[in-house]
């Protein structure tokens, strides 16, 4: 029986996916696996028995990935589960920036009780006139699950779409409309596009990638849309550019003191994935990932260990070893099995950066003594008996 704990409210449709091998526990310290959305985990003490964390969403900035890796705790996310919800808000962001819908609605609300409001409206509406997005150029930076949906939808809306992603996968490329112009230099998007939307993960290499230098290349009428992470954009530079008319608008889904109330900034209260459908999809995917890992040791959509799939174990035993990605580890593990007289019927090894996982299916059950011997090998983070 596996114990799971929810650090945030997780959609019931997802939790209902757990089968009879799982039971919910109220104490984080008792959990074998955890489901989380936005709860901050960096200051939490990880239980010794914790095997996995599933983030019901894409971003994992709230989870201490390196610390989890060092303890052999697999961290999952749910890429693509909320993509449609974010895509729709990107389209809304373009419309909000193109036409002063918010300002217009705000004016109407001040006219409560005014009898001739219809007549006044005809005079006032020109103050909120804008432009259409059809025929305009949209630059999509990052062609993952969300970026592809944004690009394809924009094509269908009659926009000229530029896409930039030097690491685009083959599967993603197949899903991308052939009408999208794939550019090799992001500077081309900065220079040519009327709207620029960013959909990349927050890494050291992408932090504030849209900075004053990038903004200087843009049209004075350009609109920047950031529904990914606020730190991808140098927002101080954006505010300065808006004040001197170097940008038209900045739409962001992450409220903070830098941009709230600033002229030209439209700040949304982190609504990108806040739809019933997105929350349901993320919950279902997170539970499915945890279930397959806890029961079979299979890893899909991990952010700190490599993905692997050994299927359902039909042998007597299955052992997972989480370890440093260094030479000669497999030889050492195999020697321990051999000394114990246990035959390895199938083996799988895969690495991701500094971390690696080795999986051994065996023809006979594995003892705690053998696990203890493997655990003492230098570079081993954790040994887990799956079966």
Both ends of the chain: CA-CA distance in Å?
A: 13
DSSP state of 274: -
Q: What pLDDT does residue 101 have?
A: 95
The average confidence (pLDDT) of the chain is 95
Mean pLDDT on 54-64:
92
Contact (CB, 8 A) for 282 and 46: no
Q: What pLDDT does residue 203 have?
A: 86
Cα–Cα dist 256/267, whole Å: 9
CATH tag for 1-82+275-305 (out of 3.30.830.10, 3.20.20.370, 3.40.50.720, 3.30.1330.200): 3.40.50.720
Q: What pLDDT does residue 62 have?
A: 94
Binning the chain into helix, strand and coil, the percentages to the nearest 5 are 35, 20, 45
For the chain, how many residues are written? 387
Mean pLDDT on 143-156:
96
The pLDDT of residue 170 is above 90:
no
Q: What is the pLDDT of residues 286-305, one digit of tens each?
A: 999 999 999 999 999 999 99
Element at 53 (helix H, strand E): strand 52-55
Q: What pLDDT does residue 95 have?
A: 98
Q: What pLDDT does residue 171 have?
A: 86
Q: Which residues pair with 36 in a beta bridge?
A: 55
% of the chain residues with pLDDT over 90: 95
Q: What pLDDT does residue 58 have?
A: 84
Question: Yes or no: is domain 83-267 CATH 1.10.10.10?
Answer: no
Cα–Cα dist 109/308, whole Å: 56
Q: What is the pLDDT of residues 307-319, one digit of tens each?
A: 999 999 999 999 9
Comparison of pLDDT for 79 and 190, the residue scoring more: 190
pLDDT-derived band at 361 (thresholds 50, 70, 90) equals: very high
Q: In the β-sheet with 33-36, what is the strand arrangement from edge to edge? A: 22-24, 2-6, 33-36, 52-55, 74-76
Q: What is the pLDDT of residues 95-131, one digit of tens each?
A: 999 999 999 999 999 999 999 999 999 999 999 999 9
Cα–Cα dist 55/225, whole Å: 25
Contact (CB, 8 A) for 52 and 293: yes
Q: Where are the domains of the chain?
A: 1-82+275-305, 83-267, 308-387
Report the alpha-carbon angle 348-349-355, nearest 5.
Answer: 150
Cα–Cα dist 31/41, whole Å: 14
Q: List Cβ neighbours of 111 (8 Å cut-off, separation of 6 or more).
A: 117, 120, 121
Helix 117-124 and helix 101-109, axial crossing angle in degrees, nearest 10? 150
Tokens found for residue 107: 């004016």
Tokens found for residue 213: 């230098």
Cβ neighbours, 10 Å, residue 4:
22
Cα–Cα dist 165/183, whole Å: 8
pTM of the entire predicted model: 0.84
Mean pLDDT on 35-54:
96
pLDDT-derived band at 343 (thresholds 50, 70, 90) equals: very high
Q: What is the pLDDT of residues 239-298, one digit of tens each?
A: 999 999 999 999 999 999 999 999 999 999 999 989 999 999 999 999 999 999 999 999
Q: What pLDDT does residue 202 have?
A: 86
The CATH code for residues 308-387 is 3.30.70.260
Do the domains spanning 83-267 and 308-387 agree at the CATH topology level?
A: no
């Amino acid at each position: 029986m596996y114990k799971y704990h929810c650090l945030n409210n997780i959609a019931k449709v997802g939790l209902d996916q757990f089968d009879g091998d799982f039971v919910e526990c109220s104490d984080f310290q008792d959990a074998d696996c955890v489901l989380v959305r936005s709860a901050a985990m960096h200051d939490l003490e990880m239980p010794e028995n914790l095997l996995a964390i599933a983030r019901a969403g894409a971003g994992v900035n709230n989870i201490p990935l390196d610390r989890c890796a060092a303890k052999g705790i697999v961290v999952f996310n749910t890429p693509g589960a909320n993509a449609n919800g974010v895509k729709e808000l990107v389209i809304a962001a373009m419309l909000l920036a193109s036409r002063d819908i918010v300002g217009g609605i705000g004016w109407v609300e001040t006219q409560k009780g005014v009898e001739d409001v219809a007549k006044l409206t005809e005079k006032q509406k020109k103050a909120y006139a804008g432009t259409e997005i059809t025929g305009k150029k949209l630059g999509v930076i990052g062609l993952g699950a969300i970026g592809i949906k944004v690009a394809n939808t924009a094509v269908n809306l009659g926009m000229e779409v530029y896409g930039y992603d030097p690491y685009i996968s083959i599967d993603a490329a197949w899903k991308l409309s052939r009408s999208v112009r794939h550019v090799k230099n992001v500077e081309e998007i900065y220079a040519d596009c009327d709207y620029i939307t960013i959909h990349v993960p927050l890494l050291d290499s992408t932090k504030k990638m849209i900075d004053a230098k990038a903004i200087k290349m843009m049209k004075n009428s350009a609109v920047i849309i950031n529904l990914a992470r606020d730190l991808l954009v140098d927002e101080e530079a954006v505010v300065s550019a808006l004040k001197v008319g170097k940008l038209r608008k900045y739409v962001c889904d992450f409220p903070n003191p830098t941009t709230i109330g600033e002229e030209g900034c439209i700040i949304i209260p982190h609504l990108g994935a806040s739809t019933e459908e997105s929350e349901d999809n993320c919950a279902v995917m997170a539970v499915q990932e945890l279930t397959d890992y806890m029961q079979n040791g299979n890893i899909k959509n991990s952010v700190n260990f490599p993905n692997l799939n050994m299927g359902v174990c039909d042998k007597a035993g299955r052992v997972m070893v989480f370890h440093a990605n260094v030479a000669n580890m497999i030889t050492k593990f195999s020697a321990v099995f051999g000394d114990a007289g246990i035959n390895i019927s199938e083996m799988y090894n895969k690495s991701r950066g500094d971390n690696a996982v080795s999986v051994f299916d065996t023809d006979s059950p594995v003892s705690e003594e053998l696990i203890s011997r493997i655990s003492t090998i230098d570079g081993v983070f954790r040994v887990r008996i799956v079966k």
